[in-house]
Amino acid sequence: NAGVTQTPKFQVLKTGQSMTLQCAQDMNHEYMSWYRQDPGMGLRLIHYSVGAGITDQGEVPNGYNVSRSTTEDFPLRLLSAAPSQTSVYFCASSLDANYGYTFGSGTRLTVV
Amino acid sequence: EDKVVQSPLSLVVHEGDTVTLNCSYEVTNFRSLLWYKQEKKAPTFLFMLTSSGIEKKSGRLSSILDKKELFSILNITATQTGDSAVYLCAGPPPLSNTGNQFYFGTGTSLTVIP
């Protein structure tokens, strides 16, 4: 099993550009989440999903959109990139509420 | 207002020492609390704690939850240089919440000196 796969691993964007961070898992996990990690801030929840067709906002959702059309995929869209969105982004998934999350390897995003 | 608070922020110890990392939270009615280890890349899962007073153990690592006092500790005995990492606590969503989202603390950075 590949686990949780994130692409790309690195990305540089110009301010105002849009892009989609991809996340796919092959473990048939219902729950998926996106986190961003900044120095001194820990992991902060952006959006999460409890199943296909169901998404909700986390702590820091502004500037990001998500959708969950399939169980496997949970893409994160940056609508108009800003330097404040420079961060490392992690996607994570879990089977259900009784299990911890498995994390992807992360995407390092720089917005200039 | 932080939902999950970890202490200390950083710790430097010598190989062989025992360390205790702390995690406190504010939600009183919840399912579980998680501990993760993060080295250079993604966090890796250590423990999920759901019941108060029951110790979970994996090798030299152990963890326990106190639901009454709203905290958890992670113990590492006979530390090794490979234990150097950031240890993250993730707690807890309220039971009434249908999701499984967790709120992470800022972590404790552990450095083990040979």
Amino acid symbol at A65: N
Residue B21 has pLDDT above 80, yes or no: yes
Q: Is B99 at the interface with chain A, CB within 8 A?
A: yes
Contacts B107 to A, Cβ<8 Å: 42
Q: State how far residue B60 is from chain A, nearest Cα, in angstroms.
A: 20
Chain A stretch 1-40, residues whose beta carbon is closer than 8 A to a beta carbon of chain B: 31, 33, 35, 40
Q: What is the pLDDT of residue B23?
A: 95
Q: What is the pLDDT of residue B93?
A: 63
Token pair for A47 = 């959006």
Report, as an integer, the average pLDDT of B69-82. Answer: 95
Side-chain half-sphere exposure of A60, counting CA atoms within 13 A? 18
Where residue A1 falls among pLDDT bands split at 50, 70, 90?
low
Q: What is the pLDDT of residue B94?
A: 60
Residue B99 has pLDDT above 70, yes or no: no
Residue A17 has a CB neighbour count (10 Å cut-off) of 14
Mark yes or no for CB contact B100/A102 under 8 Å.
no
Mark yes or no for CB contact A90/B43 under 8 Å.
yes
Q: What is the DSSP letter of B16?
A: T
Q: What is the pLDDT of residue B92?
A: 66
Q: What is the pLDDT of residue B98?
A: 52
Where residue B47 falls among pLDDT bands split at 50, 70, 90?
very high
CB burial readout A19-37, b (16+ within 10 A) else e: bebbbbbeeebbbbbbbbb
Residue A98 has pLDDT above 90, yes or no: no
Report, as an integer, the average pLDDT of A15-35. Answer: 96
Residue A17 has pLDDT above 90, yes or no: yes
Q: Is B103 at the interface with chain A, CB within 8 A?
A: yes
Token pair for A43 = 């992991």
Where residue B85 falls among pLDDT bands split at 50, 70, 90?
very high
Contacts B43 to A, Cβ<8 Å: 43, 90, 103
Range with lowest mean pLDDT among A41-50, A78-87, B12-21: A41-50
Q: State how far residue A71 is from chain B, nearest Cα, in angstroms.
A: 15
Measured CA to CA, the distance from residue B18 to residue B73 in angstroms comes to: 13
Q: Residues A50-76: pLDDT tens digits?
A: 899 999 998 899 999 999 999 999 999
